[in-house]
Copies of this chain bind each other. A is one copy, B any other.
Amino acid sequence: MSTEKRLDGRLPHELRPLSFEPGFAPHATGSVLACFGNTRVICAATLEKRVPGWMREQGVEGGWITAEYSMLPYSTHDRKARDIAKGRLDGRSVEIQRLIGRSMRAVVDLKKLPGYTLWIDCDVLQADGGTRTASISGAYVASQLAVRRLMADGVLAESPFTDSVAAVSVGIFHDLEIADLNYHEDREASVDFNIVMTGGGQYVEVQGTGEEATFSSEQLARLLDMGKHAVAQITARQAEVLG
């Protein structure tokens, strides 16, 4: 494992300071401000008594979890126009919110959300790389907080969660394999991976992309391994916060 220092002083495999601030959006059923260094995302989970149209039409039992992701206009250094100003959700946001939804559904037994939709909202307050992995990691905490409250209130009989879920980015930056890329590293990286795993060490999603570049089988194996260790640390932090 390389001991070369990164521009912000971190070792290659080292995560940024990580925190989850619960109760950030008090009107949501559960919420958290997830911070990975300067990346800060408001994650909120809200229960709605209603399932999507396709479930009703096809007579699918149980409930649903869906996610929406957005960058607040002031989350980036240059102001980012709102989706509504452009008239449509950009492709990147669509991809991210679909990923968040799939990640949550992988650790939930939808049968145990009978007739409900759990909405996961992730709004980026400050962006410095890794907003999607912070969103997934925070979405789990917000949803778990929501579920606990719904069980306490007698709305849900038992927890629909089968495991926890967390995510991290890994990549190759100037030939160095690193974890938890910040904006500068992400922008310059030749290879960029997002790894979503359960607390039990199973993969949920692996997305790796060469940005106008490619990568070998050996690099792929090392990046997957680095990601596994990084996710384990985030899982531990989630558990601490949830107590």
- Taking Cβ atoms with an 8 Å cutoff, the residues of A that contact B are 24-28, 31, 38, 42, 44, 46, 48, 68, 70, 72-79, 82-85, 87-89, 91-92, 94-95, 97-98, 102, 105-106, 110, 119, 121, 123, 125-127, 163, 198, 200-217, 220-221, 224, 228
Contact = CB atoms under 8 A, between A and B. Distances in A.
A89 to B, nearest CB: 6
Which 6 A-B residue pairings sit nearest by Cβ, starting from the closest? A202-B214, A28-B74, A44-B74, A83-B84, A46-B79, A206-B208
A200 B28 CA distance: 39
Given A84-B83, A106-B210, A123-B72, A202 B215 contact: yes
Nearest to A202: B214
B220 A224 contact: yes
A226 to B, nearest CB: 13
A224 B72 CA distance: 36
Given A46-B79, A73-B121, A84-B89, 5 more contacts: A25-B75, A31-B74, A79-B119, A91-B98, A206-B220
21 contacts: A25-B72, A25-B75, A25-B125, A25-B126, A31-B74, A42-B125, A46-B79, A48-B79, A68-B85, A70-B82, A70-B84, A82-B84, A87-B87, A102-B209, A106-B212, A106-B213, A106-B214, A201-B216, A202-B215, A202-B216, A204-B214
Number of copies: 6
A68 B82 contact: yes
A212 B82 CA distance: 26
Contact of A121 (B72, B105, B106): B72
Contact of A203 (B97, B200, B216, B228): B216
A38 B25 CA distance: 11
